[in-house]
């Protein structure tokens, strides 16, 4: 992973993942995640952009526009998904004087043809797929897998991205068929709303008329993490934003996110990010 400042793109640190791997060592031959990036606070606009790979772009915050060829300029809002692909010219970017938070994933492989034939029916439109912390957590997990550089984890990253795209483009487009997914999403959203309070699994389970064991099973099947670990990851994800965007002390942030012991918070933070909170603020936020 490369984290750096490029003021032509954003005033905030951006992350770019460009894994170098021997393709012969990949087990999933029909889909490869070529590169990925997270561009918070992007201000750069692009005209006449062309691409050699398919790219899927998710906008987590802010607003802007997207235009394909001679088509109409389409509005982009927080929670939007759109595509880039070979053979077309694109204009896109945040509104003039504004910014957006962008996640992008460049992919290649025969699997894309299957997507186009079966569930990516019109790649030239902006889709509103919504915003929730569960999805952002999955995107961060993809980054973690890509950053490892291990072929089998790069395979996992590609398949997890396919799962996220499938959920956005198919399950959300079919409310009846996706009702179970929507129910699970409501539970995950509820978990995200507890970041600044003491977490009570029994209380949350009762609110959704399920047992705690069912809650744990739902969370792990939906996110890939046990309940406790998933809550740690949500809170650490939030703490990273607080470290970069507030002047709160590490102790204040740990207390606000229900870590009674700031030393324990720091250990969890370092386990999940590779940095101590102070070093993360000093190095990433500089």
- Could you tell me if 208 and 103 lie in one domain? no
CA torsion angle for 159, 160, 163, 165 (degrees, to 10)?
A: -100
82, 188: one domain: no
CATH of the domain at 278: 1.10.10.60
Q: Which residue range(s) make up the domain with 211?
A: 179-284
The count of domains in the chain is 2
Residue 227 lies in a domain: yes
Q: Is residue 165 part of a domain?
A: no
With 0.85 as the threshold, say if the pTM is over it: no
Query: Buried b / exposed e across 226-243, counting CB within 10 Å, b at 16+?
Result: ebeebbbbbbbbbbbebb
Each residue's pLDDT tens digit in the chain (286 positions)?
A: 578 889 999 999 999 998 888 888 999 999 999 999 999 999 999 999 999 999 999 999 999 999 999 889 999 999 999 999 999 999 999 999 999 999 999 999 999 999 988 888 789 999 988 877 778 888 999 998 988 889 999 999 999 999 999 988 875 554 443 455 667 778 888 898 888 889 999 988 888 878 888 889 888 888 888 999 999 999 999 999 899 888 899 999 999 999 999 999 999 999 999 999 999 988 875 5
Are residue 101 and residue 184 in the same domain, yes or no? no
**184/122 same-domain check:** no
């Amino acid at each position: 992973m490369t984290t750096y400042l490029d003021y032509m793109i954003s005033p905030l640190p951006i992350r770019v993942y460009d894994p170098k791997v021997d393709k012969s060592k990949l087990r999933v031959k029909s889909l490869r995640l070529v590169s990925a990036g997270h561009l918070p606070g992007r201000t750069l606009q692009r005209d006449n952009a062309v691409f050699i790979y398919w790219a899927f772009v998710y906008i987590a915050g802010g607003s802007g526009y997207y235009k394909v060829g001679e088509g109409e300029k389409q509005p982009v809002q927080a929670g939007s998904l759109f595509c880039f692909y070979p053979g077309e010219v694109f204009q896109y970017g945040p509104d003039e004087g504004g910014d957006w938070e962008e996640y992008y994933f460049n992919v290649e492989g025969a699997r894309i043809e299957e997507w186009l034939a079966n569930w990516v029916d019109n790649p030239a439109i902006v889709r509103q797929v919504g915003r929730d912390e569960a999805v952002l957590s999955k995107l961060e997990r993809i980054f973690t897998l890509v950053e490892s550089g291990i072929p089998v984890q790069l395979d996992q990253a590609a398949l997890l991205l396919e799962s996220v795209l499938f959920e956005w483009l198919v399950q959300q487009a079919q409310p009846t068929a996706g009702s179970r997914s929507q129910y699970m999403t409501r539970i995950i959203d509820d978990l995200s709303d507890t970041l600044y309070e003491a977490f009570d699994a029994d209380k949350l389970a009762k609110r959704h008329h399920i047992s705690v064991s069912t809650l744990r099973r739902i969370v792990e099947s939906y996110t890939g993490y046990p309940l406790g670990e998933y809550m740690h990851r949500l809170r650490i994800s939030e703490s990273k934003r607080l470290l970069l965007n507030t002047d709160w002390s590490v102790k204040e942030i740990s207390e606000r996110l229900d870590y009674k012991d700031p030393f324990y918070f720091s250990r969890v933070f370092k386990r999940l990010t590779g940095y101590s909170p102070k070093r993360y603020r000093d190095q990433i936020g500089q």
